[in-house]
Structures are given as structure tokens and as C-alpha cells.
């Protein structure tokens, strides 16, 4: 297992606080007094001991890992390779063997020396640039055909100071062009860049030993897996506040990627999701307060500082300037969101009915949309007989849908990032008579199982579960169990792949969130990394290289353990190929699916080009070509649906989102409409293979129950 960590290709993106471009003021202190406290040194040793003994991988902190630790530290300080040279890397890396020696495990002095070296280099380069910024920008030649490599993973450390200076020049030139193409004039560009870098200088002035310690230590924890991280006393406090849901904001999970703050996931029923414009993988480059307040440029800011700027009292407005996902830095839009708290009742399961034509007749398909796996623990502990939970709410909805005489059921888990493991197990119990639902393997190699332990009533009608790339954790446990039991088919995209369990361990200073266990399906397959693979796959709205466990650095690999004996309710192996082909035929003539496929291909083509032109005319031409192609794809869709065409692709942001565009007849999104068609096919072609209901096509076996089965 340790080898998989050591040999995994190093990737430059990172999802932790305290990443890129920590810049320095011209009159900074070289940090002679910067030193780690005794409690931090003790915490460092405790952390390493816990990583070696309690992390799922059990990887030892040896010479190889020590070398990789330093490499990671360099990359976190300077991911753009703008300040360190190859000779710097070679110099410090030669001491990696000494750092792996247990007798010197507390010697963290080299990390401070590296930090101070970086501080000096960045201070000098940025300070010189700021002193002559107008002239520096005006002397740039935008007619030269040259390019900047935007793929940080493939960049090499410069061999000479001249090469470093050229990298810096191209970096600034690219920023200037991006601002120019977003209608900033010369004066605005100079002013914005000056403020941006002065802010970065000020930030580094405020860096203390706790900040540097966290940066250095997390350079190590991330090598074990992306969910294992050290939390300083300050970040621990923020973590505890977040877990108690007492913060008010926009309802978005943010991460740091290079110099940007990136949207990782939207919280179900949160302000951002309700507003509808902010999307996963969007990059936040500016934050403004109220409807007319100035927008602060936040490129290069620390993640926690950006979060603090976005947070605010309920009812106030925050404006976000974002670079939309899959678009270049030249394309930006501003989104206004009213801050609020996420209410439990707004995350509750909800039902609807869609009508599908099948075999010359119309049938009713029930839909239960489940935004998250929730439970009111306080109500449960206090003995409230009406406490809310996923399973209790879904059971009530099932009985209501039964009375509507629906022919089958769709459970919609799209964008469901998980939640209560207990609820994932209990919900599965509504669809099986009894049996295990998940296996959990601890780093000690101990395996235990959870599930429905007693026979009880369950829904035994036709079932389909919808997932997408943002369906994670508890969603994967539920959908994986449905698939393994043969209780229904899974439709949509490959799920997120979050199959690990974290534990909080207190340290002398701060605490360690460590991956100690992994989830496994009853088939023995892990949900980690691969996620749940649908039986019928839809084209992916989200790029798996940007979103999902496999997109994170050093994610633990997929593996498997022994399966658990379990009942199989249905065998769809002969049916799935047929209903899959039927679905493909429908999608070939569906304007929304045709458009989606074209947009995915177009997006992948743009992503494959990792060099951005620094020639202004060429840059403008390429942007116009991209916009023209996007407009062509959208108007083709609109023409096929009998809709009015648009003249500018930006009109689409104001009027509708094609990823969620509605079917004109059914009034539901086209993914759900096709899922209903697939379930209708399943019902039609598997009548002799599905278990018969004892009273109707939708019933809780043995009748309704007042208690959770």
C-alpha cells in the first residue's frame, strides 16, 4: 500500500487551505525569529505516529516519502514555478534522507529555511514589478506569437534566473490580456494588478509560525490521501462551526486550485443552489458586498480569507465575479446571491409524478428527489416522535405514491453529496426484506457490516436510481446496495467515488483528520475512486478530470474484499443491453441530449489545448471562435425544439441553463424524463423477471407501517 503512495504521479492541483502565491512586502522581515513551538513539534511527531499507525494505508514515513514531502511543499509554495529554480529544489532535496531519520524527526528547521527563501525571492520579484508597474505593462509586446503553458503539471522548474524571469513575464502578460479582454482599460488594469499584488504582499506579512507549520505539515498529510489533513487551532474552530451548521453564507463548498478559489460542490437547498447560476468548477475571482459595493479581486488570496469575505449575515447580498467552468479566464460573469441559512426542512425528500407513454398507454412514474441523507439527531435524542429523517420521510412519500397507483419509482440522487450513514442503511431497508448494506474495513483490518437486521416490510416494485458525478458517500452506499441486490437499475453518470471514512484525533496543537476506514459494497467492491458505475450511462455534465475523487491528488485506489452472502431480487443482465439500446435511440433524436453531447465534445477539445496565446489578436480571435461555436450548438438545440434563437451566448446565462432545461411537454428536466422512459422499458420487458407485488404494483410489503421497517 505504501508503494501506491510513493509511486503515484505527483499532481500540482491541491484542495487545501494555504496554497498558492503567498507573496511578500518589500520591507519584510527575513523571519529569523520564525520558529515552531514545542507544542507544534510535539504535534508533528504525534501526527507522523498516527499516520504510520492509524491511516488506512499504513505507509511509513521513510526516505522516499520524505523526499516527496519536500516536493509537495515546494509545489504548494510555488505551484506556478515562478520563484524557485531547479538548483533550489536540488539543494534542499539533498537533505531528504536526513529528514527521514527518526532521530531528526523533530527537526523542521529546513521547512522554515525554504519558506524564507521563497519569501525573499517573491518579495524581490513582486517588489520590483510594483515599483514600475505602468511601464512594465506598457512595454509588453502583444503582437508577438508566444504562448503560456497553463498545465501546471507539465511545467518544469527553470534552470536559470533568465528562464525564471521569462516565466514571470509571461505570467503577468497573461493576466494583463485577460483583464483587457474583459473590458478593463489600461488604468483599470494597472490599478487592479497593483491592489492584487499589494494584497498578496500584506498577506505574507501576516504569516506566522502556525501558518507555515500548517502548510508544511499538510504537504505531508496530503500524500496519504486528500481527506487526511492537519487542522490548526484556528481551522479546527472553523471546522467545528461548519459541522454545527451555525454559519450563514451561500451554501457552497470551496477549495483552492492554483491561484483561484474554486466551487467544489453546492449545498442542497442552499442560497447558491436556489439562485441557480453558480456551478461546480466555477472559479471565484472577485467578491463584492451588497448590490453596488466594489468587487474585491481575490485571485491569489488564501482560501480562508475568501470564505470570510463571502460569509455574512442572513438577508445580505454578496456578489461573486466568476470564471464559469470550462471557460477561459477571459470569460467572466457576476452573480448576486442573498445569504441565508440552510434549513433542514428545505433539504427534505420530495415527491412528484411524471407520465410516460409505454406500449400505447400512459403510465405514472413516481419520483422521489433526495437532496441529502439527513436526520434530526437532536429530535431523535430528545425522544421527539415526529423527528425528521430521510427514511421516515421517504416511507411516507412511498405510501402517498402507492395511493396514486404509480407503476414504478425513481429515486433521484443527483447532486446528493451524502450525509448520515445510518440513513443510507435505513433507506436501503425500505427496498429489501433484510440483509447487509455496507461493509466497513478499518486500518486494523477489522471488517464490520451494517444493514437491515430483521425482516420487515419493503417496497418491491420496479425501481430506478439516478446518480451523477456529484452523488457521493451515502448516495454511493445506497445506489451500490440497490445494484448489488438486483433491486433496481442505476442510471446517469459514474458517481463521485468518496469511499473513505475520517476520524478526528486531537494533537498537542490542533487536530488531525485522518482516513482510518474504507467503505465496501456487499459485492466486496469499494466505492472509493471508481464510484458506482451506472447500468445505463448518460453523457456527463461534469468533467471527471475536474470533479470527483479520482480528480483529487493522491486519492486512495479502488480495491475489493470478500463479498457478503445476500439475496438477489432480480437479474437485469439480459434486460439492460436492450433498454440501453432503446435509450440510445431516443437520445439520438433528443435535441437536449444532442446538444449536451456536442458541448461535451467541444469542452474536451478546448481543455486539450493547454497553451494560451499571448498575442492579443490571436487571443481575441480564439475567444470569438469559441463563443461562435457555443452559440451555434445552442441555436441548433433551440431550432430543433421550436424555440427562438439567441444572438449572443451570454443571453443564455440570463434566460436559462441548458444543463437543466425543461422538456416542453412533461415539464421536467430531460435527464429525468429519459430516466422515466428507461423505467417504463424496464417495467414492460421484465414483467416475468420482477418479483410480483402482493397487493398492487406499488406497495410496502405486508402493508403500511407506522414505524421504520
| DSSP H helices in 181-294 | 186-205, 209-224, 233-243, 271-275
- The b-or-e profile of 364-387 (16+ CB within 10 A means b, else e) is bbbbbbbbbbbbbeeeeeeeeeee
List the helix and strand counts (H, then E) for the chain: 22, 19
Cell 527518526 sits on residue: 102
Residue 524 grid coordinates: 466486496
Positive/negative CA dihedral, 166, 172, 178, 182: negative
d(CA 668, CA 671): 8
Over the Cα atoms of the chain, what is R_g?
27
φ/ψ region of 492 (left if φ > 0, alpha if ψ in -120 to 50, else beta) reads left
CB 513 within 8 Å of CB 502: yes
Q: Which residues are catalytic?
A: 473, 484, 498
CB 128 within 8 Å of CB 601: no
Q: Whats the size of the chain, residue-wise?
A: 709
Query: Most distant CA pair in the chain: distance in Å?
Result: 82
- Residue 334's nearest CA partner among 345, 320, 347, 324 is 320
How many CB atoms neighbour CB 655 within 10 A? 8
- Residue 670's nearest CA partner among 538, 575, 542, 543 is 538
Q: What is the DSSP string of 94-128?
A: TTHHHHHSGGGTT--HHHHHHHHHHHHHHHHHHHH
- Residue 529's nearest CA partner among 553, 556, 505, 492 is 556
Residue 313 grid coordinates: 449575515
CB 358 within 8 Å of CB 680: yes
For residue 518, give the 3-state DSSP assignment: strand
- Residue 118's nearest CA partner among 78, 80, 79, 155 is 78
* CB-based burial label for 434 (10 Å; 0-12, 13-18, 19+): middle
Cell 421504520 sits on residue: 708
d(CA 170, CA 298): 20
For residue 480, give the 3-state DSSP assignment: helix
Amino acid at each position: 500500500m505504501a508503494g501506491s503512495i510513493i509511486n503515484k504521479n505527483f499532481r500540482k492541483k491541491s484542495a487545501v487551505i494555504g496554497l498558492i502565491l503567498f507573496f511578500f512586502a518589500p520591507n519584510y522581515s527575513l523571519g529569523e525569529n520564525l520558529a515552531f513551538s514545542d507544542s507544534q513539534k510535539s504535534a508533528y511527531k504525534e501526527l507522523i505516529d498516527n499516520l504510520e499507525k492509524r491511516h488506512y494505508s499504513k505507509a511509513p514515513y521513510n526516505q522516499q516519502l520524505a523526499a516527496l514531502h519536500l516536493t509537495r511543499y515546494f509545489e504548494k509554495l510555488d505551484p506556478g514555478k515562478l520563484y524557485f529554480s531547479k538548483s533550489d529544489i536540488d539543494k534542499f532535496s539533498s537533505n531528504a534522507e536526513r529528514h527521514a531519520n527518526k532521530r531528526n524527526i523533530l527537526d523542521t528547521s529546513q521547512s522554515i529555511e525554504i519558506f524564507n527563501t521563497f519569501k525573499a525571492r517573491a518579495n524581490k520579484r513582486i517588489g520590483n514589478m510594483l515599483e514600475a508597474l505602468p511601464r512594465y505593462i506598457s512595454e509588453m509586446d502583444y503582437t508577438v506569437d508566444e504562448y503560456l503553458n497553463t498545465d501546471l503539471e507539465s511545467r518544469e522548474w527553470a534552470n536559470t534566473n533568465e528562464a525564471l524571469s521569462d516565466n514571470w513575464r509571461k505570467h503577468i502578460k497573461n493576466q494583463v490580456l485577460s483583464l483587457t479582454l474583459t473590458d478593463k482599460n489600461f488604468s483599470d488594469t494597472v490599478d487592479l494588478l497593483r491592489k492584487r499584488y499589494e494584497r498578496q504582499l500584506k498577506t505574507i506579512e501576516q504569516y506566522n509560525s502556525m501558518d507555515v507549520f500548517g502548510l508544511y505539515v499538510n504537504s505531508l498529510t496530503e500524500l496519504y490521501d486528500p481527506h487526511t489533513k492537519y487542522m490548526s487551532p484556528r481551522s479546527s474552530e472553523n471546522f467545528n462551526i461548519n459541522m454545527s451548521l451555525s454559519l450563514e453564507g451561500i451554501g457552497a463548498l470551496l477549495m483552492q486550485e492554483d491561484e483561484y478559489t474554486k466551487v467544489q460542490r453546492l449545498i442542497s437547498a442552499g442560497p447558491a443552489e436556489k439562485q441557480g447560476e453558480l456551478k461546480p468548477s466555477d472559479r471565484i475571482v472577485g467578491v463584492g458586498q451588497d448590490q453596488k459595493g466594489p468587487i474585491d479581486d481575490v485571485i491569489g488570496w488564501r482560501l480562508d480569507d475568501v470564505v470570510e469575505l463571502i460569509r455574512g449575515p442572513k438577508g445580505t447580498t454578496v456578489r461573486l465575479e466568476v470564471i464559469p467552468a470550462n471557460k477561459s479566464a477571459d470569460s467572466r460573469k457576476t452573480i448576486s446571491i442573498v445569504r441565508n441559512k440552510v434549513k433542514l426542512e428545505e433539504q427534505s425528500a420530495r415527491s412528484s409524478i411524471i407520465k410516460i407513454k409505454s406500449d400505447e398507454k400512459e403510465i405514472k412514474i413516481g419520483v422521489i428527489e433526495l437532496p441529502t441523507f439527513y436526520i434530526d439527531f437532536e429530535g431523535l435524542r430528545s425522544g421527539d416522535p415526529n423527528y425528521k429523517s430521510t427514511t421516515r420521510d421517504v416511507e411516507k412519500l412511498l405510501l402517498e405514491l402507492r395511493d396514486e397507483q404509480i407503476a414504478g419509482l425513481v429515486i433521484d440522487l443527483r447532486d446528493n453529496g451524502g450525509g448520515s450513514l445510518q440513513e443510507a442503511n435505513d433507506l436501503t431497508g425500505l427496498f429489501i426484506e433484510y440483509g447487509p448494506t455496507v461493509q466497513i474495513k478499518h486500518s486494523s483490518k477489522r471488517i464490520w457490516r451494517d444493514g437491515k437486521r430483521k425482516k420487515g416490510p419493503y417496497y418491491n416494485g420496479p425501481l430506478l436510481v439516478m446518480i451523477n458525478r456529484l452523488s457521493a458517500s451515502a448516495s454511493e452506499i445506497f445506489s451500490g446496495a440497490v445494484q448489488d441486490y438486483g433491486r433496481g437499475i442505476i442510471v446517469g453518470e459514474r458517481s463521485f467515488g468518496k469511499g473513505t471514512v475520517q476520524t478526528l484525533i486531537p494533537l498537542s496543537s490542533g487536530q488531525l483528520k485522518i482516513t482510518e476506514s474504507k467503505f465496501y459494497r456487499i459485492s466486496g467492491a469499494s466505492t472509493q475512486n471508481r464510484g458506482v458505475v451506472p447500468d445505463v450511462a448518460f453523457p456527463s455534465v461534469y468533467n471527471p478530470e475536474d470533479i470527483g475523487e479520482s480528480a483529487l491528488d493522491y486519492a486512495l485506489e479502488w480495491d475489493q474484499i470478500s463479498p457478503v452472502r445476500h439475496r438477489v431480487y432480480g437479474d437485469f443482465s439480459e434486460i439492460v443491453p436492450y433498454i440501453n439500446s432503446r435509450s440510445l435511440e431516443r437520445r439520438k433524436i433528443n435535441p437536449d441530449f444532442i446538444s449536451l453531447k456536442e458541448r461535451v465534445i467541444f469542452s474536451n477539445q478546448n481543455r486539450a489545448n493547454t497553451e494560451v496565446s499571448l498575442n492579443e489578436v490571436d487571443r481575441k480571435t480564439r475567444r470569438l471562435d469559441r463563443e461562435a461555436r457555443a452559440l451555434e450548438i445552442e441555436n441548433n438545440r433551440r431550432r430543433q425544439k421550436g424555440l427562438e434563437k439567441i444572438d449572443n451566448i451570454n443571453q443564455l446565462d440570463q434566460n436559462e441553463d441548458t444543463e437543466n432545461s425543461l422538456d416542453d411537454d412533461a415539464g421536467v428536466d430531460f435527464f429525468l424524463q429519459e430516466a422515466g422512459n428507461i423505467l417504463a422499458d424496464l417495467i414492460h420487458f421484465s414483467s416475468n423477471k420482477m418479483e410480483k407485488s402482493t397487493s398492487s404494483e406499488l406497495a410496502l410489503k405486508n402493508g403500511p407501517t407506522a414505524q421504520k421497517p
